[in-house]
A and B are shown apart, each in its own frame.
Chain A
Amino acid sequence: MTNLKLDSNWQRILDKIRTWARVNSPWAIHFNSGSCNGCDIEILATLTPRYDVERFGIKLQGSPRHADVLICTGPVTLQARDRLIRIYEQMPEPKFVIAVGSCGLSGGVFHGCYNVVGSIDEVLPVNVYIPGCPPRPEAIIYGVVQLLNSLKSGVSKVGTVAELVEKQEA
């Protein structure tokens, strides 16, 4: 790895292509860390004919190892916290987290319940917050599209191979 030039022009072009591909077809995984189900059925509804996120190339995936985006719902419960972290760690870099629903953002109505750790961003770094209880499917799509836009315009960094290697060595 060391004698490969990671910031060569060639590599930069490859990175651009990777970003392009990623923005065109993000694969998402969904995890419920303690939600009431309301947000989950709305996420599922975005896949069905009326909303149909697949037209943006977004696909809901079963395995964290294949996913780019983690869509998270619900407050994080004590029991689900470790699982959530484990799923996040299983995802390959670069990875993004979308928190869906008021209780994922702040604990919502469950704020203060004894088994609730709190919002998702207390456990994972969150890129996009989608408020609502539950957010409408349109809002969820809008949130995902925001993420894609920010990747395209470079506001959210996908990270080049050089950075990834650096991160891994650190």
Chain B
Amino acid sequence: METRKSSEKFVVPIGPQHPALKEPGHFEFTVDGEIVTGASVRLGYVHRGIEKGAEDRTWTQNIYLLERICGICSHVHATAYVLGVEKLAGVSAPPRAQAIRTVTAELERIHSHLLWLGVAAHEGGFDTLFMYSWRDRETVMDLLELISGNRVHYSTNVLGGVKYDLDTEKMDAIRRGLDFLEERTHHYMKVVTTDETFLARTRGVGLMTREQAEALGAVGPTARASSVRRDIRIDAPYAAYPDFPVKLITDDGGDLLARFVVRLKELFESYRVIRAILDQMPEGELTTRVPRRIPAGEVISRVEAPRGELFYYIKSNGGEKPERIKVRTPSLCNWGTVVSVAVGHKLADMPMLLAGIDPCFSCNDRMVRINRGQGAQFWSWENLRQYGIEYYR
């Protein structure tokens, strides 16, 4: 009998509803036996049209809309936005407000990294670590709730300052929480770097060299784990970071283990920075006046989200509403790395690899790509606008 070598590939579709990740995304892995030979991802299930919606809301309303781009890093979205608008309006928030913004941002980073640690461990089948890290994460959730009254969308920022003050009592509570978390983080560091079963899943998996990381445009901890020296808090300090600098943390491993180590080390850095700010909290006002109409102009605003660089472009035509807001989120930049690094790995490693970049669908689903037959078509801004107009009609 003639042996026929099939040229057809076996494709494993996963998603959009799938047990591993909590958000919808559709993946297709081409496999040869166990080994992945190609990967593609289809996003856009949670595309809501926020950028378009932002044009329909006033400058103040937009803080709350943009904050809800992502429930994990909501504060950095609001921060990037208010910093940009303040720059346009030519005002700057008082030092105390900037310090409180930074404290909240760092607390949010702690919550996000602990959350990620749990999810990544869960993908690796290490549910004990998942449960422990989420239990400890409740400590920082309590602190955030103490400051702002809400566990997830803190709404700390207003245009020209912040809403909530930190008194001595709250600061002490934060310090106590940080002490506990620091101790736990030492423990996690030990687990992640010494547990043999866990190391077997992370060491040497998903190797990405520095050149690759730079070519693929990786950002944040994913890039820093491949020894790319890039952190907006250091490259272009904003809020209170000029006065309270953070240390750049990189690792030259480039594999999943390095991504764990970098994020855990960043936690220590966050603890240190928060303590430093609390010890030298500037005195003064919480807000300055910002005009209701923002002068015409355009501005970019960059901040370091827990997942990497977050980029805002804001354009004003002098009215009460923005003319255009463009957001580029870190998760989108990091997708490319997964898709290319996946090739050559076992299918079973995919959840870990995906989790390794700490993907967040809700923040990157703002571009629509529609496959019609063979030709793929990207929706440009003009198409979207047209679609939006027709939809409203």
Contacts and interface: CB of A to CB of B under 8 A. Distances in A.
B181 interface: no
Interface stretch (A9-17, A110-118, A149-157, A161-169): A110-118
* Range, interface on chain B: 35 or more
Interface stretch (A20-28, A74-82, A120-128): A74-82
* Range, interface on chain A: 35 or more
Contacts of B141: 45
Interface string A77-101: 1011001000100000000000000
Interface string B64-90: 110011111010000000000000000
A38 B48 contact: no
15 contacts: A32-B46, A37-B22, A37-B361, A38-B71, A42-B151, A44-B134, A62-B18, A80-B16, A83-B16, A83-B17, A109-B65, A110-B65, A113-B53, A134-B71, A134-B151
A146 interface: no
Interface string A128-142: 000001101000000
Interface of B: 16-19, 22-24, 44-50, 52-53, 56, 64-65, 68-72, 74, 115, 118, 130-131, 134-135, 138, 141, 151-153, 360-363, 368, 384, 387-388, 391-392
Contacts of B153: 38, 133-134
B24 A83 contact: yes
B49 A115 contact: yes
Which interface residue of B72, B362, B384 has the most chain A CB atoms within 10 A? Answer: B362
A140 B157 CA distance: 27
B116 to A, nearest CB: 11
Interface of A: 29-45, 48-50, 61-64, 74-75, 77, 79-80, 83, 87, 103, 108-110, 112-116, 133-134, 136
A31 B18 CA distance: 9
Given A37-B71, A38-B68, A49-B131, A134 B152 contact: yes
A64 B387 CA distance: 33
A41 to B, nearest CB: 6
Given A42-B151, A109-B65, A136-B151, A36 B71 contact: yes
Nearest to B77: A36
B47 A79 contact: yes
Q: Is the interface of A mostly helix, strand, loop or mixed?
A: mixed
Contact of B45 (A45, A61, A64, A77): A77
Contacts of A44: 22, 134
A5 B65 CA distance: 57
Contacts of A62: 18-19
B47 A115 contact: yes
B19 A36 contact: no
B56 A50 contact: no
A113 B138 contact: no
B23 A40 contact: yes
B111 to A, nearest CB: 9
Contacts of A31: 17, 24
A77 B46 contact: yes
Contacts of A83: 16-17, 24, 45
